[in-house]
Structure 1
Amino acid sequence: MATHNFSMFSLLPLLFSLMYFSGTADSAASGNFIRASCKATEYPAVCVQSLSAYASAIQKSPRQLALTALSVSQARVESMMGFVAKLAKFKGLKAREYGAIKDCMDEMGDSVDRIRKSVRELNNASKSKGKDFLWHMSNVETWVSAALTDENTCMDGFSGRALDGKIKSSIRARVTNVAQVTSNALALVNQFAGKN
């Protein structure tokens, strides 16, 4: 009868591969959760693309998903503010272009303030139950909705052919992305509120 002589060292590769596949299974489950949740948003491809990098933090938590979506939205709005601030310093801007850029900066400032408040409020909601929870979530939904309005209002200042050109098109592309990410965050906040 043959005897098998296993040492701990011969089992290490097996243990490492089990740990790897377990981690891979967890990240796959997180990725599936994100994809499934993003189907409820208006821009599912943007949703998956903007949140997949945070799968390990999100795992399968609707709260963490909503919080991460708000944080991503906040980062995009802050980046947009920096971009618009640089545009405002361009030499040779027409008065209307400068006015529209200045208005856009104000709108983005309001938007980022509202999203920051929403992140804090969502954290407060997580510590409450019943009517208190619903009150906090109602605040979050209201502020994120208002932030989305601010972002869309930024583009209103660039309406009309007089402002057609590179500045308008570059702002439009960025605002569109910011608004899509914020719209998705609002949908995920609503989804989280509905599950509690």
Structure 2
Amino acid sequence: MEMPICKTLILPLLTIVLFISLPQTATAANEAYTNFVKTKCNVTTHISLCQKTLIPYASSVYELKQAVDAMGHLGDKDKEFQLANAKTYASSVITDADSCTDGFSGRKVNPTVKKMINSSMANITKLASNALALINHLY
């Protein structure tokens, strides 16, 4: 069975996000998203490193997974609905990254740490933005 081209393009983006090594932040992800990441990390060689790295971004990882899943259903009768879902999930990643950096407002944060986190969030935002552009361009 041939994989749809859009799903083929989104999967590498998801893989990149899954393996980005980012410092842990103070924000806690929703328990369901955290459990999703924990389950997925169980198949890796370095489980604790995977969890430590991704749990702070669990909702973004989950939303990218949802976007990929939605893209897989674009051949179904409800194509427009699935396309809207994929766009929503990709947009949510951008919102989550912005929320993370907004958390520095009015707080004393080590400038080096703040710069590193902002840089990481900017990278995630760019990846999600590319995914959203591909979704919009392909459909």
TM (norm. structure 1) is 0.50
CA distance, structure 1, for counterparts of residue 114 and residue 58 of structure 2: 19
Q: After superposition, what is the alpha-carbon deviation per residue over 1:131-171, rounded to whole angstroms, capped at 9, x for unaligned?
A: x1111101111111112111111111123462141111111
2:21 aligned with 1:102, yes or no?
A: no
Q: Percent identity?
A: 26
| 1:83 paired to 2:29 | no
SS in 1 for 2:23: helix
Tell me which structure has the larger Cα radius of gyration: 1
For 1:120-159, what aligned pairs fall within 5 Å after superposition?
120-125=69-74, 127-129=75-77, 132-159=78-105
The answer on whether the counterparts of 1:151 and 1:178 sit within 8 Å (CA) in structure 2 is yes
Cα 1:189/1:123, change in 2 over 3 Å: same
The answer to whether the 8 Å contact 1:69/1:181 transfers is no
Normalised by the length of structure 2, the TM-score is 0.68
CA distance in 2, matches of 1:159, 1:72: 33
The residue that corresponds to 2:117 in the other structure is 171
CA deviation map 1:74-123 (0-9, x unaligned): 2343234x4223xxxxxxxxxxxxxxx121x6362111101101101101
Cα RMSD, aligned residues only: 2.3
Q: How does 1:11-50 map to 2 (within 5 A)?
A: none
Aligned pair partner of 1:71 in 11, 16, 19: 11
Q: Quick check: 1:73–1:178 contact (8 Å CA) kept in 2?
A: no
Equivalent residues, number: 111
In the alignment, which residue of structure 2 is the partner of 1:49?
none
Runs of 4 or more off by more than 4 Å in structure 1? Answer: none
Richer in helix (by share): 1
CA distance in 2, matches of 1:164, 1:70: 34
Q: Quick one: structure 1 residues 159 and 177, their matched pair in 2 at CA, closer, same or farther if it must change by over 3 Å?
A: same
Q: Distance in 1 between matches of 2:76 and 2:110?
A: 49
Q: Which amino acid aligns with 1:135?
A: F
1:69/1:154 CA distance change after superposition, 3 Å: farther
Whether the 8 Å CA contact 1:77–1:108 is kept in 2: the answer is: no
Alignment of 1:51-62 (within 5 A): none
